[in-house]
Amino acid sequence: MIKKDLIHGAVFLLLSVFVVSQGYAQDEVFQKRRLLMEQENDADVKALVKAVKEKNFTEVEVKAKAIVANMDKVLDLFPKGSLSEKSRAKAEIWEKWDEFTKQNETVKKVAQSLADAAKAKDEEGVNTKMKALGDGCTNCHRSFRGPRKSN
C-alpha cells in the first residue's frame, strides 16, 4: 500500500513539474514574441517611416533588412497552442497555419523588396513598397491579433 502511494505521489509530482514547466515555457515564448513584434518591429517601422520621409535610403535598407530578419524568427515564436491570457494572438493562427505562414512570407518579401528599392535609391519604389509593407502588417494583425488586453 505504501509503495502504491509512493508511486502515485511520484507520478503526481512529475506531472506537476511538467505542467508548471510548460507554463513557464509558454510564458517565455510569449515574452520573446512580444519583444520581437512590439519592440523591435515597432522601432524598425518608426525608423523606416522617418527614413522614408528624409529620403535616407541607407537607413531604409538597413531597417527593411532588420524586418526581414525578424520575419525569419516569427514562425518559431508561435508554437502550436502558445496562447496566453497576456497574448493578443488569436487561436486562428494555429487553425489557419498555412494562411498565417503566407502572411509572414508576404511581409518578408515586401520588406526585402523595400530594401532592394532603397539600395537602388528608387524613391517611387520605396514609397510603393513602404505602403505595401504597412498593408501586409495590417492584414496579418487584423486576421491574427486580438485587441489590447486591459490590465
Q: How far apart are CA 143 and CA 54, in angstroms?
A: 32
Grid cell in block for residue 30: 510569449
pTM: 0.79
Residues in Cβ contact with 108 at an 8 Å cutoff, skipping those fewer than 6 apart: 67, 68, 71, 72
For residue 23, give Cα distances in angstroms to 3, 28, 79, 96, 138.
30, 9, 13, 24, 30
Q: Which contacts of 131-138 are long-range, i.e. CB under 8 A and separated by 24 or more positions?
A: 133/48, 133/64, 133/67, 133/107, 136/103, 136/106, 136/107, 136/110, 137/45, 137/107
Q: Does domain 2-144 have CATH number 1.20.120.10?
A: yes
For the chain, domain boundaries: 2-144
* pLDDT of the chain, 151 residues: tens digit per residue: 676 666 655 455 444 444 434 444 557 888 899 898 888 989 999 999 999 999 999 999 999 999 999 999 999 999 988 887 878 899 999 999 999 999 999 999 999 999 999 999 999 999 999 999 999 999 999 999 998 877 5
- pLDDT attached to residue 1: 61
